[in-house]
Structure formats: C-alpha cells, structure tokens
Structure 1
C-alpha cells in the first residue's frame, strides 16, 4: 500500500513538473529560466519520499515533458534531466535519509546539480556539437549559472516552507522499511515508552508524557548510545531528553514539528507515523504547558534538571 501511494505521489509530482513550465511559458514575460519550475518536482520527491523517488522523478520529469511538449528542447533535455536527477537524489539523501538541515541539504544539492549540468553540457557538446563544443560549453554554462542564481534564491525561500507545511498537513510516514514499522509493536497493547538495547527490552512503562524517560534517567542513569527509544508521543520535552542522553535512534507514533527539528539538528534518526505542529493539552485548546516550559530553557541539560524537579520532586512551580 505504501509503495502504491508513493507511485501515485511520484506521478502527481511528475505531472506538476510538466504543467508548471507550460504555465510559465505562456506568460507574456519569459521568467521560466529564472524561476526554474521544472526543478521543484525533484526536490519535493526527494524531500518527501527519499533519494530513490527523488532521482526517478528528477529523471522522468524533463524526459516526459520533452515527449509531450518538446520542452526542454533537444539536446538541452539531456543535461536538464541529469541536473534534476541529481537534485532529487542528493536532496533526498541528505534531508530525508541523513536528516541534514533542510537549507544545507538544498545548498549541497544545488551545487551538485550545477556540476551535473556542467557535465551534461560537456556531454551534449561533445556528442552533438563537436565542432563548436568549447564555445557552447562556456556560453551555456555561464548563462545557466547566472539565470539559476535567482531561481536558487527563490527555491531556498519556497521549498523548505512547502515541505514543512505539506508534511505536517498530510502526515507523510517517514518509515522506510517494514522492520522499522514493526518497532511500534513493542508499545502494544498498553505501553507508552520502551527502551531497546540489541532488540532486548531494558525498560518499559505505561505512564504518559515525560514520566517514563525521566524516571529511567533519574534511577538508572544515561543508557548506552545505541539504545533505541520507542515512545507513543515525542514532543519537545522528550526530544530534549533524547539529546541529553545522546541516543541516536528514536521511534515515535506521534512526533511534534519542534521535536523533529531538534532531533534532526542533533543527527538523531527519527521514525514517526504522525507529524503534528505541536503537542497540545488534553482539551486541545492550547500547547501543552510542559512544551512551553522546556522551550524557555537553554539546553537539554537544563531541561533534564527542570523535569526532574517536576516529575521526581513533584514541584509544579515551573509550569506556572
């Protein structure tokens, strides 16, 4: 089912990649070369579904566009396809797989894509335009790079916002393998928090919120770094505790956007089923007070000390 959905989404992104350039081309002012509309499908495919889907969408979008609309023209379509393939592959690898910062991932993907563009220009010039290869390469590369700078800035402004909003709205599942999804079975039927070490349960709890992890850390100390946390809900408070522990892999059935950003910043592998903007109070009227409280603290260490005061010492003053 998941693969079927990915195929559908990939097809939708390819269709968008074909339609967007048409819209830009029918405008009275030629702004397509500056906005680079054919690039977006590859970036979104890589950002939402990983490097493989990103590369496939990046490769097929210009090829299908050429077959249907003759845009990009031949032989330009060759180096455009190499370029967009690279965007989807590198951005998906860095952002989706390795959890790099989205802006850094974009910058690196853009750089690699421009290199692919230069290589494609050389390939086209040598194969199709051998007698004028050097002038063609130089002039075309300079033209593409100068026009692409504007498009790159626009992409840096648009792509991160769209990915964050869409990922939150549609709850894209970021679990790659069935074995990863099966990790959530450790929470059945009524567990809320489980710690695994070498696939052996070393701790489990039925308590809600941050209590399980705070209690474990207070009474047992920091676990080994290859310990895996599986939690029903991972908000900013739990995310800070994960960073404090130095854990490298966490699974959350529900993860908040601030928690995801913090964990990715610290290179933690995060697997989740549902992504939400924030963890809310039980009545859904506001953000959880604990989440607000930890957002005011300066470090994961400070968060841990504050949560010990609240959970272990039963001092709720911090939440007032």
Structure 2
C-alpha cells in the first residue's frame, strides 16, 4: 500500500488530526488542533517530513508552507484553502482534498483563522513559518 493510502486510512480512523507516513511506516501522529501538530514535527525533526505523505484535518497556507519547507511528497486533507492549494502546486506536492474553500476560518467562523492571516502577507514559506512559530511562542506566554 502507498504511503498516502496508509496516511489516509490511519487518519480516517478518527484518532489523530495529523498522520505522517514514510517508507510504509507511520512516523508521526498528533491529536493537536490547528497547525501545532505539523509545526511540532517540523521543528523537532524536519527530516521526518522529507519525502513523506501527510494526512491533516485541514490545510491552509500555514500547514502547506510547512509541508513545502519539509519537502513533503503528498498530502490528503478533508479541507484545503485556495491559498494552500497554490503553495502545494508551486511546490509540486501531490494533493487530495475533499473540499476546497477560499480561506480557513477561525473556530467560531467570524473571521479568517489567525494563523491564515499571519501568512497572507507573504509568499515566502520560510518567512511564513517564522511568523507561525513566533505566534505560537507568544500564545504560550
């Protein structure tokens, strides 16, 4: 079975919001909400993402920027933003999405997701990920 099929199968069990598969093995999972799961994988061990397949609950610009920097091979998501799709296309990352939306909204659906807003002002994935990382650090204070 391909890595992306393993990732999708494991994700659809409903136990994880993020599943990373590489060389036929599940190498990382997360139950974290939002961008934290993939950000933690990327910051702790970015080599895990290189050539991997990723299934994530939703993907906006932030998650796809991390996937681009991590050199992810393919992704699956139930919900992908148009901005995220552009990043995946630019990076040559294969993707499957159940729904494509203009942008990722915040949890109460009153505005854009704050993480999506952070990355809207840049097309540079390195800059975008720096902004995300700083935002998460500030939240923890």
TM-score bracket for this pair, using the shorter chain length: 0.7 to 0.9
CA distance in structure 2 between the partners assigned to 1:207 and 1:234 by the alignment? 14
| 1:141 match | none
Higher strand share: 2
CA distance in structure 2 between the partners assigned to 1:240 and 1:266 by the alignment? 9
- The two structures have a TM-score, normalised by structure 1, of 0.40
CA distance in structure 2 between the partners assigned to 1:194 and 1:184 by the alignment? 8
Say whether residues 1:274 and 2:99 are aligned partners: yes
Q: Structure 1 residues 185 and 302, CA, compared in 2 at 3 Å: closer, same or farther?
A: same
| 1:128 match | none
Alignment length, in residue pairs? 136
CA distance in structure 2 between the partners assigned to 1:180 and 1:245 by the alignment? 16
CA distance in structure 1 between the partners assigned to 2:5 and 2:102 by the alignment? 22
| 1:315 match | 138
Say whether residues 1:190 and 2:15 are aligned partners: yes
Alpha-carbon RMSD: 1.9
Corresponding residue to 2:65 among 225, 240, 263: 240
CA distance in structure 2 between the partners assigned to 1:234 and 1:190 by the alignment? 18
CA distance in structure 1 between the partners assigned to 2:116 and 2:96 by the alignment? 20
Q: Structure 1 residues 244 and 180, CA, compared in 2 at 3 Å: closer, same or farther?
A: closer
- 1:224 Cα deviation (Å)? 5.1
CA distance in structure 2 between the partners assigned to 1:218 and 1:183 by the alignment? 21
Corresponding residue to 1:291 among 96, 108, 116: 116
- 1:237 Cα deviation (Å)? 0.5
| 1:202 match | 27
- Tell me, yes or no, if the aligned pair for 2:52 and 2:72 is still in contact at 8 Å: yes
- 1:183 Cα deviation (Å)? 4.0
- 1:254 Cα deviation (Å)? 1.0
- 5+ unaligned residues in a row in structure 1: which ranges? 1-178
Structure index of larger Rg: 1
Q: Deviations over 1:232-263 (max 9, x none)?
A: 10111001111111112111111111111211
- The two structures have a TM-score, normalised by structure 2, of 0.86
Which gives a bigger RCO, structure 1 or 2 (Cα 8 Å, sep 6+)?
2
SS at match of 1:201: strand
- 5+ unaligned residues in a row in structure 2: which ranges? none
- Tell me, yes or no, if the aligned pair for 1:227 and 1:247 is still in contact at 8 Å: yes
- 1:268 Cα deviation (Å)? 0.9
CA distance in structure 1 between the partners assigned to 2:100 and 2:125 by the alignment? 22
